[in-house]
């Protein structure tokens, strides 16, 4: 009796194994048939499967990096060529942008020098437009270029550069971007270099040179007497930037000679009017950044900025052109 039961169990086990083998063969056969029909056999295979990662491609005329350079007062013109500025051949920023433009092909680095009126009406130049008007025009033109470039070239990254009035403009845009209110995302800005920024605040940004001392930007020191500066120069002293440079604080270089009243005015100006008139009358050190050896030890401001820019550009990703 027991032997018969074991034989019946063996027959059932044999049938079960036979059925399992048939199922495996059937599955393999279906897989072989599907494969020979050229159809996808699973996730990630076959045509029509889209990658989770976007393909980084841009139009052929898009650079990997754009340098947006904003010249200082009296170093630009609204009609100047942004790709080959010639209004002032010895403008400070040209000593930086010209060598970089010659070193890199346009598809790797595009230099755009913002053309704007760049004036500063004062008793010595009564026929010029006011600082407020000039600054507004420069800011609008710089922002418009960033908006247009980002719309056409979404993966292009940026380096901002400014001197004097242009440093205020570039610094304001850096602040907007770093605090989430700018024309491009903060992660696309590789760095910002501000030379003689009138809104410089100690502790904000990085100082690659000698410490400018205990001063701050003139637009901060003279904010309490902005009515007077508006009267004689149409210049509103706007104070510190709300939120500083935000996410871009560690990517923003502040360069200032301690003797330059634009970026290193006294913290407490007893007679703000007198100091402002002193600047308007004469601030020779402000015009010496191209050759001044006392701002960044062992080099000049243009040489340091060129080397810094090279590091930023060389580290930027290469974007394929579609």
Residues catalogued as catalytic: 164, 260, 286
Long-range CB pairs of 132-137 (<8 Å, 24+ gap) are 132/230, 132/234, 132/235, 132/236, 133/234, 134/73, 134/165, 135/165, 135/168, 135/169, 137/78
- Is 33 strand, coil or helix? helix
17 is written with which tokens? Answer: 């194994």
Could you tell me the end-to-end alpha-carbon distance of the chain, in angstroms, rounded to an integer?
81
Q: In whole angstroms, what is the distance from residue 269 CA to residue 226 CA? A: 12
What contacts 226, CB < 8 A, 6 or more positions away?
Answer: 235, 236, 237
Residue 2's CB is within 10 A of a number of other CB atoms, namely 5
Query: Which pair of structure tokens corresponds to residue 272?
Result: 């703000």
- The alpha-helical segments, DSSP class H, found in the chain are 2-36, 94-103, 131-152, 165-178, 218-221, 226-233, 272-281, 301-314
Q: Are 80 and 117 in contact (CB under 8 A)?
A: no
Going by the DSSP 8-state scheme, the letter that residue 76 receives in this structure is -
């Amino acid at each position: 009796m027991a032997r018969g039961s074991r034989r019946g169990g063996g027959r059932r086990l044999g049938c079960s194994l036979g059925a399992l083998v048939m199922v495996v063969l059937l599955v393999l056969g279906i897989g072989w048939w599907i494969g020979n029909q050229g159809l996808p056999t699973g996730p990630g295979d076959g045509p029509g499967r889209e990658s989770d990662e976007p393909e980084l491609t841009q139009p052929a005329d898009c650079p990997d990096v754009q340098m947006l350079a904003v010249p200082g007062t009296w170093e630009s013109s609204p009609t100047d060529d942004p790709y080959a500025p010639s209004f002032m051949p010895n403008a400070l920023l040209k000593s930086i942008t010209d060598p970089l433009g010659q070193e890199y092909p346009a598809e790797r680095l595009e230099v755009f020098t913002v053309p704007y009126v760049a004036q500063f009406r004062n008793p010595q130049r009564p026929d010029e437009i006011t600082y407020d008007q000039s600054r507004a025009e420069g800011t609008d033109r710089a922002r418009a270029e960033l908006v247009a470039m980002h719309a056409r070239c979404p993966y292009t990254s940026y380096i901002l550069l400014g001197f004097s009035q242009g440093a205020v403009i570039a610094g304001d845009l850096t602040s907007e971007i770093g605090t989430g209110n700018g024309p491009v995302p903060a992660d696309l800005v590789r760095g910002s270099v501000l030379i003689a920024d009138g809104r410089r605040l100690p502790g904000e940004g990085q100082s690659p040179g000698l410490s400018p001392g205990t001063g701050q930007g003139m637009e901060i020191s003279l904010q309490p007497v902005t009515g007077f500066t508006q009267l004689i120069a149409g210049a509103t002293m706007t104070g510190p930037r709300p939120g500083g440079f935000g996410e871009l604080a560690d990517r923003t270089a502040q360069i200032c000679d301690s003797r330059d009243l634009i970026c290193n005015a006294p913290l407490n100006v007893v007679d703000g009017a007198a100091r402002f008139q002193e600047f308007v009358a004469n601030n020779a050190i402000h015009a010496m950044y191209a050759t001044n050896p006392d701002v960044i030890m062992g080099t000049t401001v243009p040489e340091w900025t060129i080397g810094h820019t090279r590091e930023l550009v060389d580290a930027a990703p290469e974007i394929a052109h579609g």
